[in-house]
Amino acid sequence: GAHDGGAAGAAAEFVDPVSSSQADKSTFGVDADGNGVRDELDDYLKSLFQDPSEHALLTSLAREETRLLLLREDPQSSPSQVREQALRSIAVHHCVVDGLGAERARIALTELQSALVNSQLRFGAWLAAERKLNGSILPSMACDSGLVQP
């Protein structure tokens, strides 16, 4: 079952959907088309969602989450900057749920998170933002469709 192996079992079961970026030593990675999402993650999202509007939803969320990762990594970023970017990510997250429906969104968001923080460096950046957001109370939000772009 899901709890049989504990944390060690969960780690052993993880399969990185974009393992090609494991050798990349940067948080951001390569983004040849300049859309704000590293290329192998972008390709992975295209393989999951061929519908252009669905792909735009996931690409937009990946872009906002990538910006959040980069702020997390930047020691000069303030908790308020991280908070504002987190709010943008949450707004797009709601667009994903609205656009895909709750169950498909849950699966898509799980896939995206696994691919987004697929290296020790990226996971460390994610944890750093959690520390910067620690104690923040974030408001309820709705989809901000102005943030959804291909």
Q: Give the CB-side neighbour count of residue 29, counting CA atoms within 13 A.
A: 29
- What does the pLDDT profile of the chain (150 residues) look like in tens digits? 333 333 333 343 444 556 555 555 566 778 888 889 988 888 888 888 889 999 999 999 999 998 988 887 777 888 888 888 989 999 999 999 999 999 999 999 988 888 888 878 788 877 877 777 777 777 777 888 888 887
CA nearest neighbour of 60 among 89, 38, 29, 30: 89
pLDDT of residue 2: 36
Task: Specify the pLDDT at position 3.
Answer: 34
| pLDDT the model gives residue 75 | 78
CA 76 from chain centre, in angstroms, equals 21
The angle, 0 to 180 degrees and rounded to 10, between the axes of the packed helices 120-133 and 79-100 is 110
Question: What's this model's pTM, rounded to 2 decimal places?
Answer: 0.76
Residues 88-123: b if buried by 16+ CB within 10 A, e if exposed:
bbbbbbbbbbebbeeeebeebbebbeebbbbbeebe
pLDDT on residue 5: 39
pLDDT at residue number 80: 85
pLDDT for res 96: 95
User: pLDDT at position 10, please?
Assistant: 39
